[in-house]
Amino acid sequence: MTNEERDIQRKLRVLQHAEKIGNVRKACRYFGIGRSSFYRWRDAYQKHGEAGLKNVKSIPKNPANQTPAEIIEKVLYLRRKYHLGPIRIVWYLARYPGIKISDAGAYRILRRNGLNRLPRGTRVNRRVKRGQIAA
């Protein structure tokens, strides 16, 4: 039995117990849940049956402020091709009209796609030691 099935069975037991004793407050107190949760589960069960008791995320599938796909593609291309960091990617994209993204946004895109670390040996360490001239 998976965790999801266990959750559904638990919610069903709460609903059945409340119906059996006829007191929602006592049933919620016995199971240690809030009454608002109970009523939400009861309404979902009445509308959709057991499928309504599944735990689903309430976030939208396509948020309105999501970064457009073409900008994501450009950020990933610049990282793969030129090994640029988030700030340099932002500087590069700022040259094009209509493309505005923050360095944190660029970093999140890179991290989400597994490119948050540059390959070994591509990072440049430009520290100037005393008495030396930077190349």
Within this chain, do residues 26 and 43 fall inside the same structural domain, yes or no? yes
Q: What is the DSSP letter of 120?
A: T
pLDDT at site 74: 94
3-state per-residue secondary structure call for 5-66 = HHHHHHHHHHHHHHHHHCCHHHHHHHHCCCHHHHHHHHHHHHHHHHHHHCCCCCCCCCCCCC
The tally of domains found in the chain comes to 2
Q: Is residue 101 part of a domain?
A: yes
Q: Is residue 87 part of a domain?
A: yes
Given pLDDT bands bounded at 50, 70 and 90, which one contains residue 133? low
pLDDT at site 41: 94
Q: Is residue 133 part of a domain?
A: no
Question: In terms of pLDDT, which residue wins out, 39 or 122?
Answer: 39
Mean pLDDT of 48-74: 85
Within this chain, do residues 64 and 46 fall inside the same structural domain, yes or no? no
Q: In degrees, to the nearest 5, what angle opens at C-alpha 68 toward C-alphas 62 and 72?
A: 115
Q: What is the pTM of this model?
A: 0.50
Residue 116, domain extent: 59-122
Q: Is residue 100 part of a domain?
A: yes
pLDDT at site 101: 92
Within this chain, do residues 41 and 95 fall inside the same structural domain, yes or no? no
Tell me the percentage of the chain whose pLDDT exceeds 90. 61
Q: How confident is the prediction for the chain on average, in pLDDT?
A: 87
Residue 84's CB is within 10 A of a number of other CB atoms, namely 20
The yes-or-no verdict on residue 115 having pLDDT over 80 is yes
Within this chain, do residues 65 and 97 fall inside the same structural domain, yes or no? yes
Q: Is residue 84 part of a domain?
A: yes
